[in-house]
């Protein structure tokens, strides 16, 4: 490491050295490692190939539920959801008796590495694809830049640390359902590094492409080719590039291409009576067209006096289920906050997703076979760095939320 500009920073019990050159951490939404392998194989990702040869290529485990918000918050806090509190995109607030989106910083229980560095004097910038993550990721950031591609036409110095982000990036405003939304994020990262020279940039894309296109297909390779070009530019501008993902992605269909769905609310209604149990799908968010709110993780609230052990065993016996836990065991295994989970936690297998009631899922927007995530089967993600790492204990279980630790503490 070159000389340190500042003393190491302590965040949530972990220590991070000051960056010796600009650090760009990229969370590629839904980036199953095979997307990168196949893009390199097809010859469309020459920079990533070079990075894997000259830098560091590792695999790590994402957080289960393997959804966007819990994992992005784990990455920026360096902690599991049991610590930071964000265990889904959506949850049932038992105290308020309401189902609510979890994208408000009031639900965040830990500070972020980005905010801590900004408070210590680092220049930081955060760019997300969808606006739903912006306020969480920008929480307590001091004098930094934070905006989303989705709302790049509506930024101000006061709110986002930058006026007219759209004009600044110089691309048209992308549709929220397009590959351009992620491209805008990468383009913004390059523009920021060229002009504002932040010490730390966090970029978070969207998995629109990954929900539609399997690894190695033309649509996927086109996306990774685009990404490859921007990563190369970030590298050429002198940045440390660190890449990970919030979760992987798998087909959730039978051989014909029809989704394999277990409608848990319907099942529990049959067993216990209509609406006696409440099934919550933490994948739920306002942008469900590309996955119909179907993922491989669910939690259910059961009535007082319910025989939890019996229900756990009965659900576990359904074809397509991977594991079912009571709250305490599930929260222990997946490091989740007990006060924000239901009485039971259900994870389906790789090819199966969980729904509430058949009539509550609009699958008409699915014009290609369903691909989704949420389960243990989407837990493995890449950890890539454009510099060699040293001093990583090989017996340690690496997590996507170790990306800042490796990038700041372990690169040569
Ligand atoms: Zn995601
Ligand atoms: Zn997704």
Please compute the mean of the pLDDT values over residues 168-182 and round it to a whole number. Answer: 94
**Model confidence pLDDT, tens digit, residues 70-110:** 999 999 999 999 999 999 988 898 888 898 888 899 999 99
3-state secondary structure of 259: strand
The pLDDT, as a whole number, for residue 4 is 46
Q: What is the pLDDT of residue 137?
A: 98
Provide the pLDDT confidence category of residue 386 given band limits of 50, 70 and 90.
very high
What value does the mean pLDDT take over residues 151-167? 98
Mean pLDDT value across the chain: 95
Q: What CA–CA distance (Å, rounded) separates 114 from 304?
A: 42
Ligand 2 centroid to Cα of residue 199, in Å, is 29
Tell me the mean pLDDT in the region 253-275.
97
- pLDDT tens digits, residue range 198-230? 999 999 999 999 999 999 999 999 999 999 999
- CATH (residue range 2-249+374-409): 3.40.720.10
CA of 338 to the centre of ligand 1 (A): 22
Please tell me the distance between residue 236's alpha carbon and the centre of ligand 1 in angstroms: 28
Counting ligands in written order, which one lies closest to the CA of residue 88? 1
CA of 210 from ligand 1 middle (Å) equals 9
Write out the E strands in 270-397: 278-280, 297-301, 321-326, 344-348, 353-355, 371-372, 380-385
pLDDT higher than 60, residue 3: no
Task: Report how far ligand 1's centroid is from the alpha carbon of 271 (Å).
Answer: 33
Ligand nearest to the CA of 212: 2
Give the span between the Cα atoms of 104 and 410, in whole angstroms.
33
* Ligand 2 center from residue 68 Cα (angstroms): 7
pLDDT at 391: 86
pLDDT at position 1, please? 38
CA of 60 to the centre of ligand 1 (A): 16
Return the pLDDT at 287.
Answer: 64
Q: Which numbered ligand comes closest to the C-alpha of 294?
A: 2
Alpha carbon of 30 to ligand 2 centroid (Å): 6
**Is the predicted pLDDT of residue 367 greater than 90, yes or no?**
no
Confidence of residue 291 (pLDDT cuts 50, 70, 90): confident
Nearest listed ligand to the Cα of residue 72: 1
The residues near 48 (Cβ < 8 Å, ≥ 6 apart) are 36, 39, 40, 224, 228, 231, 384
pLDDT surpasses 80 at 2: no
Q: Which CATH superfamily is domain 261-372 in?
A: Domain 2, Phosphonoacetate Hydrolase (3.30.1360.110)
The number of CA neighbours under 13 Å toward the Cβ of 298 is: 32
Ligand number with the minimum distance to the CA of 293: 2
Q: Where are the domains of the chain?
A: 2-249+374-409, 261-372
pLDDT at residue 143 tops 90: yes
Q: Evaluate if residue 197 carries a pLDDT over 80.
A: yes
Tell me the pTM.
0.96
CA 364 to ligand 2 centroid distance, Å: 17
Q: Ligand 1 centroid to 165 CA: how many Å?
A: 23
pLDDT at 24: 98
Separation of 310 CA from ligand 2 center, angstroms? 32
Alpha-helix runs per DSSP H in 200-321: 208-212, 218-236, 264-272, 308-316
If pLDDT is split at 50, 70 and 90, which confidence band does 289 have? low
Residue 61, pLDDT above cutoff 90? yes
Taking the centre of ligand 2 as the mean of its atom positions, its distance from the CA of residue 120, in whole angstroms, is: 34
Distance 207 CA to ligand 1 centre (A): 6
What distance in angstroms lies between residue 265's CA and the mean position of ligand 2's atoms?
Answer: 22
Q: Rounded to the nearest whole angstrom, what is the distance from the C-alpha of residue 206 to the centroid of ligand 2? A: 8
Rounded mean pLDDT of 343-352?
A: 98
Phi, psi of 68, rounded to the nearest 5 degrees: -70, -55
Centroid of ligand 1 to alpha carbon of 33 (angstroms): 14
**Closest-lying ligand to the alpha carbon of 204?**
1
Q: Which two tokens stand for residue 91?
A: 């949850």
The alpha carbon of 206 and the centre of ligand 1 are apart by a number of angstroms equal to 6
User: What pLDDT is stored for residue 276 in this prediction?
Assistant: 96
Which band of pLDDT confidence, cut at 50, 70 and 90, is reported for residue 286?
low
388 alpha carbon – ligand 2 mean position (Å): 31
């Amino acid at each position: 490491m070159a000389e340190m500009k500042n003393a190491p920073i302590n965040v949530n019990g972990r220590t991070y050295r000051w960056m010796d050159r600009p650090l760009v951490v990229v969370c590629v939404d839904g980036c199953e490692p095979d997307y990168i392998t196949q893009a390199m194989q097809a010859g469309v990702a020459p920079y990533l190939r070079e990075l894997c040869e000259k830098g560091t290529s590792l695999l790590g485990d994402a957080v289960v539920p393997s959804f966007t918000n819990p994992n992005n918050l784990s990455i920026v806090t360096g902690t599991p959801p049991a610590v930071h509190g964000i265990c889904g995109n959506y949850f049932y607030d038992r105290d308020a008796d309401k189902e609510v989106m979890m994208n408000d910083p009031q639900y965040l229980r830990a500070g972020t590495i980005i905010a801590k560095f900004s408070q210590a004097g680092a220049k930081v910038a955060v760019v997300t694809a969808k606006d739903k993550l912006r306020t969480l990721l920008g929480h307590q950031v001091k004098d930094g830049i934070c905006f989303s591609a989705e709302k790049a036409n509506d930024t101000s110095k006061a709110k986002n640390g930058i006026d007219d982000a759209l004009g600044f990036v110089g691309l048209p405003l992308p549709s929220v359902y397009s590959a351009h939304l992620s491209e805008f994020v990468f383009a913004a990262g390059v523009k920021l590094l060229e002009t504002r020279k932040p010490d730390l940039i966090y970029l978070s894309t969207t998995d629109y492409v990954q929900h539609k296109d399997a690894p190695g297909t033309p649509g996927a390779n086109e996306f990774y080719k685009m990404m490859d070009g921007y990563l190369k530019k970030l590298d050429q501008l002198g940045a440390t590039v660190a890449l990970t993902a919030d979760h992987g992605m798998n087909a959730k269909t039978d051989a014909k291409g029809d989704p394999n769905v277990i409608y848990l609310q319907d099942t529990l209604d049959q067993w216990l009576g209509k609406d006696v149990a409440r099934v919550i799908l933490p994948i739920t968010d306002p942008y469900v067209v590309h996955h119909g709110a179907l993922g491989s993780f669910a939690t259910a609230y059961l009535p007082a006096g319910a025989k939890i052990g019996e229900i756990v065993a009965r659900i576990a016996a359904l074809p397509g289920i991977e594991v079912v836990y009571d709250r305490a065991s599930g929260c222990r295994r997946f490091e989740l906050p007990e006060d924000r989970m239901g009485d039971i936690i259900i994870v389906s297998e790789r090819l199966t997703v969980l729904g509430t009631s058949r009539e509550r899922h609009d699958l008409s927007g699915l014009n290609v076979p369903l691909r989704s995530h949420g389960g243990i089967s989407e837990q493995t993600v890449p950890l890539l760095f454009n510099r060699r790492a040293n001093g990583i204990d090989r017996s340690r279980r690496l997590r996507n939320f170790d990306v800042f630790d490796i990038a700041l503490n372990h690169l040569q």
